[in-house]
Amino acid sequence: MEIKSKTENKKALLPENLKGILWSKNINNVDLENDKIYIIHQVLSFGDIDEIRWLFKNYSLDEINTVFVNTPKRIYTRPIFLFIKDYILKIKTGLDENKYVKSFF
């Protein structure tokens, strides 16, 4: 089954409030499709509820889930990882927490 992208054939300017979350890139050069993995993980890990709403307006739930499950990034604190997995994305399958949760040691 092919996952439909909300960003197909759509160029969108990123809101200025995402600048702090997408700090490692020039926000004017960030592309919604090409930088999808980076954007999704950064917003899920560091965004507030309004920024997460923006994420769901620009990417489908299937896209977000696919990125989260198939390309884990070790940038989450444990509480944020569990909140995103259990309540935002409602992922019931077991995920290797070590692939997502950053260590402070």
Write out pLDDT tens, residues 55-100.
999 999 999 999 999 999 999 999 999 999 999 999 998 999 999 9
* Domain-located, residue 9: no
* Domain-located, residue 11: no
Give how many domains the chain has, as a whole number: 1
* Domain-located, residue 79: yes
* Domain-located, residue 76: yes
- The pTM for the full model equals 0.85
pLDDT, mean of residues 33-43? 97
* Domain-located, residue 78: yes
* Domain-located, residue 105: no
Output the CA angle 16-30-55, nearest 5 degrees.
Answer: 65
What range defines the domain where residue 23 resides?
Answer: 18-99
